[in-house]
């Protein structure tokens, strides 16, 4: 099977599967090398990625572009950023750099757990390791550096746990919701006996203490960035020493639903349909439309959160506003930045003012909860204007 093949690639670096994949990657690279100089440029990279991802997509192990990107422009921007991360900022990429990135990517996917890609998950897929060894390897890599692909996967895993537990879809977790959050997050370690069962009375007491440690302001709710910081410290501490099977193994399926991380518009959507969607979402926060809007805004935020800290500021905030504005701009409900601002300086000055407006705590950055609250309030005003008109 294809899954067995890619596992052999990593398990046997001098084996047949590894050689076969290397030759295939070299073929893709040479075909993308438009000027035949042994390197590729950022303009060649998008085609190279498409060729490389064709096989895992064929077997259902990788998403289609529409599951990951709002538009072609966003896909190109994302892959441009990836190109520069792989090359360290260089204008050209070599075959060894490309192969090294692919192998690291495959290793991460195997450690996380090779599973069919489910429509609607986007990057919000849960860690599903197949063996305790894979799980331990994944956690150790994820906590060794926040620059590793494993850390990025851990970020989206924890984001998925958080948003699935966020029953009210407000970007905040209450004390009551925290119990569900821990249950979802603990499913993977429980599978191999690395975490205690939820039925333990002492564990319930510990959860209350955990919540208090995260909610240091005593607000009664926690945002994703605070949960992420706490969870990372907790996991890093566990991964720094021997991870032992101290508890009864529990492979219980929590029945966690697939996230509604699906686009709510496409090229066939009309302006009136988009307006109707927003109107329904604002009138009923329990509606499927509101949930889809929530996940759309989450997608925009996580895309801009390039360092995967759960916080956005500076240039990343500028990216966030541009991607969030792409939908209303598409349907004529918001102007393009080029027609709004006379210069780059004017645009950035305006964006700094908008960041300060969202940053009610005056920290210099915003969390997803801050962005969500502002966006919903902003959309409500726009919808009220449509109704009045």
Q: What is residue 201's predicted lDDT score, i.e. its pLDDT?
A: 43
Going by their DSSP bridges, the two strands 39-40 and 172-174 should be labelled as unpaired
User: For residues 345 and 347, what is the distance between their CA atoms, to the nearest angstrom?
Assistant: 5
Residue 118: both structure tokens together: 């489910």
Task: Return the bridge partners of 221, or none.
Answer: 174
Q: What is residue 207's predicted lDDT score, i.e. its pLDDT?
A: 81
Going by their DSSP bridges, the two strands 311-312 and 366-367 should be labelled as antiparallel
Instruction: Please list the pLDDT of the chain residue by residue as tens digits (389 residues).
Output: 888 999 999 999 999 999 999 999 999 999 999 999 999 999 999 999 999 999 899 988 888 888 788 888 889 989 999 999 999 999 999 999 999 999 999 999 888 887 777 776 778 888 888 888 888 889 999 999 999 999 999 999 999 999 999 999 999 999 989 988 998 888 888 888 877 776 654 556 678 889 999 999 999 999 999 999 999 999 999 888 776 666 666 666 555 556 666 667 777 889 999 999 999 999 999 999 999 999 999 999 999 999 999 999 989 999 999 999 988 998 988 888 778 888 889 989 999 999 999 998 899 999 999 999 999 999 999 999 877 65
The CA–CA distances, whole Å, from 138 to 4, 107, 129, 309, 323 equal 18, 9, 8, 19, 31
Question: Phi/psi at 221 (nearest 5 deg)?
Answer: -140, 160
pTM: 0.86
Ramachandran class of 67: left when φ > 0, alpha when ψ lies in -120 to 50, beta otherwise: alpha
Question: Phi/psi at 61 (nearest 5 deg)?
Answer: -105, 5
The CA–CA distances, whole Å, from 360 to 172, 223, 304, 353, 366 equal 16, 14, 20, 12, 9
Q: What is residue 273's predicted lDDT score, i.e. its pLDDT?
A: 94
User: For residues 23 and 17, what is the distance between their CA atoms, to the nearest angstrom?
Assistant: 10
Q: What is residue 254's predicted lDDT score, i.e. its pLDDT?
A: 52
- DSSP strands (E only) in the chain: 39-40, 93-94, 172-174, 221-223, 311-312, 366-367
Structural contact between residues 103 and 10, judged by C-beta atoms closer than 8 angstroms: yes
Q: Would you call 86 helix, strand, or coil by DSSP? A: helix
User: For residues 36 and 40, what is the distance between their CA atoms, to the nearest angstrom?
Assistant: 9
DSSP string over 120-165: T-TT-PPP--SSHHHHHHHHHHHHH-TTSHHHHHHHHHHHHHHHHH
Angle at 109 between CA 186 and CA 162, to 5 degrees: 35
Residue 282: both structure tokens together: 């604002």
Q: What is residue 261's predicted lDDT score, i.e. its pLDDT?
A: 63
Angle at 175 between CA 173 and CA 177, to 5 degrees: 55
């Amino acid at each position: 099977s294809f899954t067995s093949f890619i596992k052999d690639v990593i398990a046997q670096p001098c084996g047949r599967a590894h050689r076969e994949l290397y030759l295939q990657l070299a073929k893709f690279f040479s075909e993308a090398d438009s000027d035949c100089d042994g390197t590729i440029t950022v303009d060649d990279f998008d085609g190279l990625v498409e060729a490389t991802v064709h096989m895992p997509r064929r077997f259902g192990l990788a998403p289609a572009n529409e599951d990951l990107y709002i538009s072609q422009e966003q896909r190109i921007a994302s892959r441009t950023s990836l190109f520069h991360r792989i090359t360290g900022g260089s204008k050209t990429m070599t075959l060894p750099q490309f192969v090294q990135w692919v192998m690291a990517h495959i290793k991460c996917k195997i450690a996380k757990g090779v599973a069919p890609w489910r429509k609607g998950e986007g990057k919000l897929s849960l860690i599903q390791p197949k063996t305790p060894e894979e799980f331990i390897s994944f956690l150790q890599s994820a906590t060794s550096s926040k620059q590793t692909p494993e850390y990025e996967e851990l970020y989206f895993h924890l984001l998925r746990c958080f948003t699935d537990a966020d029953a009210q879809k407000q970007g905040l977790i209450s004390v009551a919701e925290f119990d569900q959050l821990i249950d979802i997050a603990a499913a993977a370690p429980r599978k191999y006996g690395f975490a205690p069962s939820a039925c333990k009375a002492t564990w319930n007491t510990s959860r209350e203490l955990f919540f208090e440690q995260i909610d240091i302001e005593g607000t009664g709710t926690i945002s994703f960035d605070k949960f992420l910081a706490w969870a990372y410290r907790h996991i890093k501490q566990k991964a720094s020493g021997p991870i032992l099977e101290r508890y009864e193994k529990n492979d219980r399926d929590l029945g966690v639903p697939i996230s509604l991380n699906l686009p709510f518009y496409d090229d066939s959507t009309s302006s009136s349909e988009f307006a109707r969607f927003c109107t329904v979402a604002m009138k009923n926060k329990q509606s499927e439309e509101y949930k889809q809007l929530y996940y759309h805004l989450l997608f925009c935020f996580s895309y801009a959160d390039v360092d995967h800290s759960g916080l956005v500021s500076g240039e990343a905030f500028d990216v966030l506003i541009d991607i969030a504005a792409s939908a209303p701009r598409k349907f004529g409900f918001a102007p393009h930045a080029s027609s709004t601002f006379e210069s780059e300086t004017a645009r950035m000055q305006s964006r700094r003012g908008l960041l300060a407006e969202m940053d009610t705590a005056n920290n210099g950055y915003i969390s997803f909860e801050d962005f969500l609250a502002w966006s919903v309030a902003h959309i409500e005003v726009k919808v009220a204007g449509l109704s009045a008109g």
